[in-house]
Structure formats: structure tokens, C-alpha cells
Amino acid sequence: MPSSTVENYLKAIWSLQGQHEEAEMVPIGQVAEKIGVTPGTATTMMNQLLKKDLVKYTPRRGVLLSGAGQKAALLVLRRHRLVETFLVEIMKLDWAEVHEDAEVLEHVISDRLLARMDEMLHHPTHDPHGAPIPNAEGELTPDGTTVLADCPPGAYTLQRVREDQPSFLQWLAEMELIPGTDLIVTDRNLEADTLSLKLPNRAESVQISLPAAKSLLVARP
């Protein structure tokens, strides 16, 4: 198993790739910022990852995961999301407070324990935040969701919360705005930078900022 540092770099590159056009290289500066190290430290790591064939790295241009790197990144993501599901479903922890523990456990949990957790959870396809769990081969099926912030007024179903901040997750739980909830976007106010939502269990409409609505992924019901 690669070291936790290597795994965190692979995860960071994978997530940054998702914010770029396909096959567009991720600048090393962005990787360094995400990990919280200097560009020099990140560059040293890129050369190590290149030697292990985990990335395609071109100095001054950027980095992309290789096939093996992508698989390794998705297997870490699988461990993270299965651990979060286990902590919520079996250990009954709140969905707002499991991310930090999963960040640690994802690097240390053995394949044997992970397989047992997967079995106890009846092989879940999504974690408590609605994120798809990569399969044991390190493959991820795209879930075809849209960012709520980009949606015109209309009816949607919340599929996934792409944010780990406990306070935001707690607020969502209070609003009963969790994966599976049907909602209606009644208004987009670009001047105030907000969306107005009609939620099933609320008489009053709920305002959410557009930046916050970027972390909510929805589908048409």
C-alpha cells in the first residue's frame, strides 16, 4: 500500500483534475496549495510519483494521473467513503462529524476490514453525503448530476453534498435538506447572489447563497 502522503497527493490531483477540462494538465501550484505545502515540495513529490508511474508530469506544465494513479486514487476514495458510511450507518455518528476520522482511517484500514465493512453495509453504492463509492476495482460510475447553483427555477432532487464543513452539514440536516430530498428552485437572485428554495417540510422559502449551492448536486426528479 502506498504511504498516506502519496495517497493524499493522488487524491488531491484526482479532485483538481475534476475541476479542469479533460486531459488538461493540473498546475503544480494548485496541487501544492491543496495539500498545503510549498511548490518546491510538491515538485519533489511529482518526481517520486513519476518514477512509480502514478502520474504524467511535465515540468512547468503540470501533472495528470496515469491509469495506475487514477486507480490508486479511486481506491483511497473508496476507503474514505465506505468508512464514512460505516461510521454513520453502523456506529450511528452524525453525518456532519465523520469526515475528519475518515481522512485518517482511509490510510490505515486493511483490505480485510474494508471488505467486512462493505459486507456489513450490504455493498452500498453511495456514502451518507450521496457521493458514489468507487467499486473494488477502482472504477467510478458518473452519476449525471448538476450543480444546484447553475440550475434555473424548477423541480430537482438533491443527490449529493460535496462539502465536508460540519457547520454547513448540520445546517442542511436542520433544514432536512439531505440526499433524496425533493426541492423547488423558485428564484435565482443574481444581485444578492442567492437561490430561493421551497423544501418539503418548510412553509417558508429558504435562501441559500450561490457559493453554498455549488456544493449541492441535484438531478431532475
Beta bridge partners of 64: 56
Q: Does 11 bind Zn ion (CB under 5 A)?
A: no
Contact (Cβ atoms closer than 8 angstroms) between residue 184 and residue 154: yes
Nearer to Zn ion, 9 or 57 (CB): 9
| Dist. CA 146–CA 202, nearest whole Å | 24
Q: Does 99 bind Zn ion (CB under 5 A)?
A: yes
Q: Does 78 bind Zn ion (CB under 5 A)?
A: no
Nearest approach in angstroms of CB 23 to Zn ion is: 27
CA gyration radius, the chain: 19
Nearer to Zn ion, 78 or 99 (CB): 99
Nearest approach in angstroms of CB 131 to Zn ion is: 8
Number of residues that bind Zn ion (CB under 5 A): 2
Nearer to Zn ion, 105 or 197 (CB): 105
| Dist. CA 103–CA 105, nearest whole Å | 6
Contact (Cβ atoms closer than 8 angstroms) between residue 181 and residue 94: no
Nearest approach in angstroms of CB 79 to Zn ion is: 11
Contact (Cβ atoms closer than 8 angstroms) between residue 73 and residue 65: yes
Judged by CB under 5 A, the chain residues 101 through 120 that form the site for Zn ion are 102
